Structure 1
């Protein structure tokens, strides 16, 4: 509601300059939250693997994958925070009046997206051989498989392609925003599915 009142979803040309800056300010912090959320969702699923699979190679690979996830999250959150020096230029330099040194945001975004997809795929594939050997009902296995489908939730990728080269920030940020939100919320639901039945016992 706040960003909508500041011009989000409208064509950029009639939007006041200070409102455009505010929308970019919100985008800056929402990107940090997205990176943190996607990382911790995967870590929570990997921790579930450690509870389910008590020994063997899978546990060692899961530990390594967890460390890689945490390193990825730390690296890209840090890169996003300091994408510009001074930091505030990330949301104030859009009009070309603020002197700043900034990284290539498009290259960083694509690199992050590629690593994110790889880590999602690893998280999905990792337990599948062991899952077939678990002693549990088919209903429970289906719940876990739905959770593992998290790795294919790359919903915001197509909207990022358009947003990367946009000159109409307030208009083109809308699909990035809602697909990011949907992706994170659905991922949280998927990650919780295997443990939900215990709430109703």
Structure 2
């Protein structure tokens, strides 16, 4: 239904006067609110594990702002049901309050998406040092911010005058707001896929095993879940702005809240590495020869020293990136081959590119 209600529309509404999405709204907002809190706590705890203290960078700050704005949207959607949201138009007692809340929810949606995407872009900037890539990140951030400002402007001024949105007893008109949201939704999906694809070429250039490259790409591509929700949301956008919008637009609200929740999760998954190392990978590594484990810290570590004669020395160390139970001992999960050469009685570390130290000792064919 759009424009003016016909007698057929009124008859249909009266025949379905008991229809209500209110219980569904409460369930949706409660579940998404709970998971959003869990996502935030896991991210903060992961940062604490990785850094030894709770130190936040720009991506974390932008993420927390996005979460605060999301909470505003989630609470507003719950309050929406208290003013008649989820029921048919004829049974809404306070249309003014309902429309104000609807406007606030739409504006908050735009800015939540923006802060989530800017958080992801800031995370990319902290990972990849290439200056050209940073220029692309700034351009993407500017586009996303412009998208949010334009979407908010169209939302607020969809009717002229603005009061015509809740008071149809005056002269005015409204644009096809559902169609405009469809356009903004298409640009939202395009930017989603662009942002997700941006780090893939850089990851493929990393000098790491292909298996780790695939894992990194999967982590960065985790945002596809939010993209799917954005696509689903497009199906419901045309119902927004209708006369019977208090009822017909509620499914779009469900998808919007779910989309924002998945966006929070997608932007946090790449930061969950320390949690994986602490609770999953560590428990999956068996203790055995060449490793040591403690019940208190559950850390594992290996250290091997190789020395040949008095000229060459090599050391390989490995372990988890945690602090061991004994003060002053740090165990790492990074493998490093350190080579030294004895020059005039002093052991001097030889870099990989140093041509004075060959992989095999001439004339022996053995590893030094």
After TM superposition, is the score higher than 0.5? yes
- Residue-by-residue CA offset, 1:17-63 (whole Å, 9 max, x unaligned): 42x33322211110000011111111111111111110153222222
Gaps of 5+ in 2: 1-77, 279-321, 323-368
How far did 1:166 drift?
A: 3.6
Query: Is contact 1:86–1:101 with CA below 8 Å preserved after alignment?
Result: yes
Q: Tell me which residue corresponds to 1:182.
A: 258
Change (3 A) 1:179 1:102: same
Indicate the structure (1 or 2) with the bigger Cα radius of gyration.
2
Partner secondary structure for residue 156 of structure 1 = helix
- Residue-by-residue CA offset, 1:104-132 (whole Å, 9 max, x unaligned): 42342222112212211211121111123
Q: Tell me which residue corresponds to 2:29.
A: none
Change (3 A) 1:117 1:16: closer
More helix by share: 1
- Answering whether residue 214 of structure 2 is matched by residue 142 of structure 1, we say no
Structure 2 distance, partners of 1:98, 1:190, is: 45
- Residue-by-residue CA offset, 1:156-177 (whole Å, 9 max, x unaligned): 211113x147442221121011
Partner secondary structure for residue 87 of structure 2 = coil
How far did 1:85 drift?
A: 4.2
Structure 2 distance, partners of 1:88, 1:50, is: 43
More strand by share: 2
Q: Tell me which residue corresponds to 1:172.
A: 248
Larger RCO, structures 1/2 (Cα 8 Å, 6+ apart): 1
Structure 2 distance, partners of 1:73, 1:87, is: 19
Query: Is contact 2:83–2:93 with CA below 8 Å preserved after alignment?
Result: no
User: What is the RMSD of the two structures over their aligned residues, measured on CA atoms?
Assistant: 2.6
How far did 1:89 drift?
A: 3.3
Q: Counterparts in 2 of 1:1-201, with a 5 A limit?
A: 1-13=78-90, 15-18=91-94, 20-90=95-165, 92-93=166-167, 96-100=168-172, 102-134=174-206, 135=208, 137=212, 139-147=215-223, 149-154=225-230, 155-161=232-238, 163-164=239-240, 166-198=242-274
How far did 1:187 drift?
A: 0.4
TM-score w.r.t. length of structure 1: 0.82
Structure 1 distance, partners of 2:234, 2:270, is: 27
How far did 1:185 drift?
A: 1.1
Structure 1 distance, partners of 2:228, 2:79, is: 31
Structure 2 distance, partners of 1:151, 1:167, is: 29
Structure 2 distance, partners of 1:30, 1:123, is: 25
Query: Is contact 1:147–1:194 with CA below 8 Å preserved after alignment?
Result: no
Query: Is contact 1:153–1:183 with CA below 8 Å preserved after alignment?
Result: yes
Structure 2 distance, partners of 1:122, 1:141, is: 14
